[in-house]
């Protein structure tokens, strides 16, 4: 069986991949994740997911490499990771009572054959109409400053959400497992 490599240091993606109960290695791809001029959220996410996998492929010559990237959008505008409390506050205020689409791109790269599979798994989240005090309380408790959209649905952030729509709730956290299993099956790497 080929080695499985997760081209990410995200603890959220690592935890999701652990659910499949298969051994894997993690690799930290060093990339500039700035969107290119005129690039849509879908194009950014897809380009970065594949780039991460290909960078890892230069270090693992006989592996199935998983690259994933997520870009959230509000009214077509990309929403990145806030990194600071102030930015997270502004993001959540803009998102309250509105829908945000989390575009999660997945790439599986076979570094031995050069085969590339790409898939985009969008997930739509409707946010509750929260008060400034509720937003502040949430941010102080969970501090989701490294999460696109300033919220962790797998934690207290679920209280911010009124509704979710999509084919795989794991895509919201950053790694669409249903699509990944399909891709692994295409490479004859079976989970069960």
Quick check: is 160 in a domain? yes
Q: Which residues pair with 69 in a beta bridge?
A: 105
Q: Where are the alpha helices (DSSP H) in 34-176?
A: 41-57, 85-95, 132-142, 169-173
**CATH code for the domain of 24:** 3.90.950.10
Quick check: is 55 in a domain? yes
Active site residues: 69
pLDDT tens for 58-104 read 999 999 999 999 999 999 899 988 999 999 999 999 999 999 999 99
Quick check: is 144 in a domain? yes
Quick check: is 145 in a domain? yes
Check if the beta carbon of residue 137 is closer than 8 Å to that of residue 156. no
DSSP run (H or E) holding 166: strand 161-166
Quick check: is 164 in a domain? yes
Buried-state track 40-64, b at ≥16 Cβ within 10 A, e below 16: ebebbbbbbbbbbbbbbbeebeebb
Quick check: is 192 in a domain? no
Instruction: Provide the domain count of the chain.
Output: 1
Domain extent for 150: 3-186
Quick check: is 151 in a domain? yes
Quick check: is 82 in a domain? yes
In percent, how much of the chain has pLDDT > 90?
92
Taking the model in full, what pTM does it have? 0.93
């Amino acid at each position: 069986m080929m080695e499985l490599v997760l081209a990410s240091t995200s603890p959220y993606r690592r935890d999701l991949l652990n659910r499949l109960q298969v051994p894997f290695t993690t690799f930290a791809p060093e990339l500039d994740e700035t969107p290119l001029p005129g690039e849509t959220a879908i194009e950014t996410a897809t380009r970065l997911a594949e780039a991460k996998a290909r960078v890892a492929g230069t270090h693992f010559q006989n592996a199935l490499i998983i690259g994933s990237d997520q870009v959230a959008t509000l009214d077509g505008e990309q929403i990145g990771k806030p990194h600071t409390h102030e930015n997270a506050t502004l993001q959540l205020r803009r998102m309250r009572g509105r829908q945000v689409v989390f575009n999660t791109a997945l790439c599986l790269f076979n570094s031995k054959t050069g085969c590339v599979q790409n898939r985009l798994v969008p997930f739509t989240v409707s946010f509750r109409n929260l008060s400034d005090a509720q937003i502040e309380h949430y941010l102080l408790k969970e501090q989701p400053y490294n999460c696109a959209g300033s919220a962790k649905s797998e934690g207290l952030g679920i209280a911010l959400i009124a509704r979710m729509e999509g084919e795989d709730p794991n895509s919201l956290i950053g790694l669409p497992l249903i699509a990944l299993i399909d891709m692994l099956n295409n490479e004859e790497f079976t989970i069960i």
